[in-house]
Amino acid sequence: DAPRAAIGRIVQAAHRAHPLQEVEAGAAVHELLVSLRRSRADVAPDGDPVLKALARDAFRPLTVAEHAARHQMTPAALRTAVRRGAGVGPKEYLLTIRLGRAKELLAATDLPVAAVARSVGYDDPAYFSRLFARRTGTAPVRFREQQGRGTPDTPPGHGPHPGHP
């Protein structure tokens, strides 16, 4: 369902004469890639159990060493297993899952950025905002605006674009 929703947003952005068309399409493509990566990790029936467990626990404040210990592995063995299964290291894998979920929450809810940060495993909202901006190229609040979900005090007529999911 998540990949289909992302594809729908790509199609809508491509058909809309909107000044942020390229940004919306780019964000939707990123969401598609994240959702496809996530589906590979935690839905595939024959998927790697280590990746499934990491995806399940991605929002818990655990270090790579703690994740490894939970699987009776050394951090090096965990890195090897994750790189083999996902093509990236454990930190990148977890970060991709966390930021993907943060994007979903920012696009679909009115939760404050601090609450989004906490729900994806970051206790420090300022750190989360810097990390999000560094990785996505835009601040969380701006990302939400680009998704057509202004702030709670958005004036009438300036909210979500009609037809935007």
Render pLDDT for 53-63 as a digit per residue (tens, 0 to 9). Answer: 999 999 998 89
Give domain status of residue 151, yes or no: no
Give domain status of residue 92, yes or no: yes
Give domain status of residue 36, yes or no: yes
What residues make up the domain containing 84?
2-146
Give domain status of residue 163, yes or no: no
101-116 tens-digit pLDDT: 999 999 999 999 999 9
Angle at 16 between CA 132 and CA 163, to 5 degrees: 80
Give domain status of residue 16, yes or no: yes
> What's the sign of the alpha-carbon dihedral 48, 98, 119, 13?
negative
Give domain status of residue 51, yes or no: yes
Give domain status of residue 158, yes or no: no
64-90 tens-digit pLDDT: 999 999 989 999 999 998 998 888 999
In eight-state DSSP terms, residue 58 is T
65: Cα separation from own chain's centroid: 23
Note whether 39 and 79 are within 8 A (CB).
no
* Number of domains observed in the structure of the chain: 1
Confidence of residue 29 (pLDDT cuts 50, 70, 90): confident
- Residue 131 sits in a domain whose CATH number is 1.10.10.60
